């Protein structure tokens, strides 16, 4: 199972493509942040079509930080995305999103840092993963908030589905995140700020030391 997943949060395709070319050397699973400017003030590149050139080679994961995640499912599936993670905070019908996502690939739900686990009322075993934000959704480069550790412990006690952490993951906290029960770790600024290969290998080494 992919544990360290490169994350990309960018406003233009040129920067996205540069990072994909780097990330594909590290992992065939790549996490793409999709932000519509309504879920949060930030906005990323929203056109799914250019990603189709990578559909056969890569496992693309869409993190839908948008006002209506359901309407983004089909366009991104047509472009070759294989996992869809939607934020519950702006979701009109969680059950409908999950059912549609299951038809198109893997599906998960995301909870922002201040959203309680109990917000999700559906059977979690219908999901392929749960993503917990370690920071406020919408921007990269933020510091991990300690409250996420308790949320991981609470969630891992309720379900066996993979818990994915996004936001603030680095070499100083990834081990504790794993010890609390997280299995996948999306990292954006930590990997891309300096030497991506070295940073990626460092995180893997820390996890393997458990």
Active-site positions read: 33, 166
Q: How many CB atoms lie within 10 A of CB 143?
A: 11
For residue 65, list its beta bridge partners.
35
Q: Please report, for residues 107, 201, 209, the alpha-carbon distance to residue 181 in angstroms, rounded to integers and kept in the order given.
A: 20, 21, 15
What residues contact residue 188 under an 8 Å CB cut-off, 6+ apart? 6, 7, 8, 9, 33, 140, 141
At CB < 8 A and 24+ separation, what contacts does 115-119 make? Answer: 115/88, 115/89, 117/151, 117/154, 117/155, 117/158, 119/88
Which run of H or of E encompasses 94? helix 94-104
């Amino acid at each position: 199972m992919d544990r360290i997943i490169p994350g990309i949060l960018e406003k233009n395709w040129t920067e996205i493509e540069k990072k994909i070319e780097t990330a594909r050397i590290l992992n065939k699973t790549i996490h793409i942040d999709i932000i519509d400017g309504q879920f949060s003030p930030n906005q990323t590149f929203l056109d799914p079509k250019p990603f189709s050139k990578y559909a056969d080679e890569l496992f693309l994961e869409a993190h839908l930080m948008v006002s209506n995640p359901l309407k983004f499912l089909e366009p991104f599936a047509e472009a070759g995305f294989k996992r869809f993670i939607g934020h519950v905070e702006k979701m009109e019908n969680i059950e409908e999103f999950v059912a549609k996502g299951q038809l198109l690939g893997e599906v998960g739900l995301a909870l922002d840092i201040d959203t309680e686990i109990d917000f999700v009322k559906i059977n979690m075993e219908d999901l392929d993963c749960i993503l917990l934000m370690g920071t406020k959704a919408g921007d990269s480069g933020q510091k991990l908030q300690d409250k996420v550790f308790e949320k991981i412990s609470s969630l891992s006690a309720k379900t066996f589905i993979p818990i994915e952490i996004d936001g603030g993951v680095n070499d100083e906290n990834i081990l504790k995140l794993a010890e609390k029960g997280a299995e996948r770790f999306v990292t954006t600024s930590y990997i891309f700020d300096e030497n991506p290969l070295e940073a990626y290998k460092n995180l893997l080494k820390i996890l393997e030391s458990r």
